[in-house]
Chains A and B, each alone.
Chain A
Amino acid sequence: GAGVSQSPSNKVTEKGKDVELRCDPISGHTALYWYRQSLGQGLEFLIYFQGNSAPDKSGLPSDRFSAERTGGSVSTLTIQRTQQEDSAVYLCASSLERTENQPQHFGDGTRLSIL
């Protein structure tokens, strides 16, 4: 079956522009996560959608970052007025949430470069 799909795979934009990153989770997965990974760094949690509950936005670094998940499926991460420090790989993951211990299934990320 299809895995987690992210688009675009690469995005280069000028400082100050807005960008939208898309994530298509595995069908039937109720949980969706966004992470950011800078070069040589670990995964930085950004936001977590769990079923119909309010999302956990505790990892968003500033109010320039927002995300939504429509119809419990596709998610979009939006970064407004991009800054150079936003350059990173943005990873999306999904998982089943019937029980704890569920592994996360990751896409291959969007590599964002801010000029």
Chain B
Amino acid sequence: SQKIEQNSEALNIQEGKTATLTCNYTNYSPAYLQWYRQDPGRGPVFLLLIRENEKEKRKERLKVTFDTTLKQSLFHITASQPADSATYLCALPPGGGGNKLTFGTGTQLKVEL
């Protein structure tokens, strides 16, 4: 089965800097990968999806990369703001495709003034 690794240590950065979060997987390369944001006491919220044939995807201040050779996705937030503070989860489908996702444990981001 797929094992997903996200940095369990919180990432603290200064406002205005770029935050970079890592999602590593250990087994098969998925057809796509999704990133979610979760605030305390709330359910995860979908942010971005990147397909295996896409190297990079952007949405406003967000950028996701997908390197199937390294088995890694990077999630970047540029010009970070305190409101970006949250836990960010990556999620992958099973090897045979489909919509059932396996989620990483997430990385907590804290953006300080």
Which A residues contact B (CB, under 8 angstroms)? Answer: 4, 31, 33, 35, 40-43, 45, 48, 50, 56, 91, 93, 95, 97, 100-109
Contacts and interface: CB of A to CB of B under 8 A. Distances in A.
Interface in B18-64: 31-32, 34, 41-46, 49, 51
Interface residues of B, number: 24
Instruction: Name the prevailing secondary structure of the B interface residues.
Output: loop
A103 B98 CA distance: 12
Interface of B: 31-32, 34, 41-46, 49, 51, 89, 91, 93, 97-106
15 contacts: A35-B103, A42-B103, A42-B104, A42-B106, A45-B100, A45-B101, A91-B43, A97-B99, A100-B31, A100-B32, A101-B32, A101-B99, A102-B99, A105-B46, A108-B43
B55 to A, nearest CB: 17
